[in-house]
Amino acid sequence: MTSNGLLQVVRELAEASRALVNGDPEPFKSHWSHADDVTIFGGYGKHEQGWERVSSRLDWASARFRAGEINYELLSAGSSGDLGYAVGIERGRATVLDHGASGEIVLRVTHLFRREHGRWAVIHRHADAVTEIQAASHLLRDR
């Protein structure tokens, strides 16, 4: 079951992603919880925990883009009580730091949400570029 309020926030977050890839992380950050338990597994790798570190990582990631357009394809979303999720694919084109030409971006993205003070807030984002089936050896670090 999905709350209409959650779907609205998912749409707003998708719109805010467009600002993020154009160097403005603030609209995207406005949808996040500011709690110490928020986490991110970013598209650039690594992870962060706690709002201060996640906020800084979002600033850092946005600064890596020069211009872009990104669209969100929602695959599934749901909520139960004060927790919700959305799973989708972000597709678009962008120019990134140290690379003059624009290129295609395809990320599979999972967002977890928590209802805080009457609104849905992101508490976790996982984004990665693995969109095709990989060989089993891809999981090995010393391949």
Write the CATH number for 18: 3.10.450.50
Q: What is the dihedral of CA 31, 36, 41, 45, to 10 degrees?
A: 120
pLDDT of residue 16: 97
Q: Is the dihedral of CA 114, 120, 124, 127 positive or negative?
A: positive
pLDDT tens digits in sequence order for the chain, 143 residues long: 566 799 999 999 999 999 999 999 999 999 999 999 999 998 888 899 999 999 999 999 999 988 899 999 999 999 999 999 999 999 999 988 887 788 999 999 999 999 999 999 999 999 998 878 888 888 787 76
Q: What is the dihedral of CA 54, 56, 59, 62, to 10 degrees?
A: -50
pLDDT of residue 120: 97
Do 59 and 34 form a contact (C-beta atoms < 8 A)?
no
DSSP 75-121: EEEEEETTEEEEEEEEEEEEEETT--S-EEEEEEEEEEEEEETTEEE
Point out which residues pair with 48 in neighbouring strands.
40
134: domain range?
4-139
| Domains contained in the chain, number | 1
Question: Largest alpha-carbon pair distance within the chain?
Answer: 48
pLDDT of residue 99: 79
